[in-house]
Amino acid sequence: MSQKEKMLAGQLYYAEDQVLSEERKRAKEICYDYNLLRPSQEEEQQVLLKQLLGKMESPVTITAPFWCDYGYNIELGENFYSNHNLVILDGAKVRFGSNVFVGPNCGFHTAGHPLDQNERNQGLEYAYPIEVGHSVWFGAGVQVMPGVSIGDDVVIAAGSVVTKDLPSHVLAAGVPCKVIRPLKDSDRQPKD
């Protein structure tokens, strides 16, 4: 089994494998070009995102800078928006539903390292997928860890670190992130 196959299967793999290193370099080159575009170069942005990402529904807005490891493991639903400094370490799939809004300085990290120092010192790591439902809002600085699933209609407060799955229709916050309460009808009403 190749290192890439191990990575995609959620097994320990050696990330400095030549194939994986070349794929990361390709993704970083596209991200670099993307990050140098002027904000007005929207068509050019879309072309580069289509080259980079595994799946992308329109419209999509990713405010530069943006960095990822591979790109092909990222799937964005319709009406995806992220503010500055989005980082997606996509050794495994990272899927976002429609109408997802991501604040500045957020990260989605499928990659992790073994607790065992001998395995870690060999350069081994793992990657577990991240699933995000529809109509989710991530406040500034939210970090999502490997293997997490987030339901639909979820609001995650700024600065949270999401280490466990979150159900649909909740407000969640904290380090580690926990459900604060269900979202209420009154949360959906405009305030005067």
How many CA atoms are closer than 13 Å to the CA of 188, on its beta-carbon side? 9
Question: Is 70 contained in some domain?
Answer: yes
Question: Is 54 contained in some domain?
Answer: yes
Question: Is 35 contained in some domain?
Answer: yes
Question: Is 19 contained in some domain?
Answer: yes
Question: Is 190 contained in some domain?
Answer: no
Q: Which pTM was predicted?
A: 0.95
CA 91/CA 127 separation, integer angstroms: 5
User: How many structural domains does the chain have?
Assistant: 1
**Burial zone of 73 (CB within 10 Å; 0-12 exposed, 13-18 middle, 19+ buried):** buried
Q: Could you list the pLDDT tens digit for every one of the 192 residues in the chain?
A: 999 999 999 999 999 999 999 999 999 999 999 999 999 999 999 999 999 999 999 889 999 999 999 999 999 999 999 999 999 999 999 999 999 999 999 999 999 999 999 999 999 999 999 999 999 999 999 999 999 999 999 999 999 999 999 999 999 999 999 999 999 988 877 666
Q: What is the CATH number of the domain that holds 116?
A: 2.160.10.10
Distances (CA, A) of 64 to 53, 79, 151: 15, 17, 27
**Burial zone of 2 (CB within 10 Å; 0-12 exposed, 13-18 middle, 19+ buried):** exposed
Question: Is 191 contained in some domain?
Answer: no
Question: Is 21 contained in some domain?
Answer: yes
Give the active site residues. 113
Question: Is 180 contained in some domain?
Answer: yes
Domain holding 168, by residue range, is 3-185
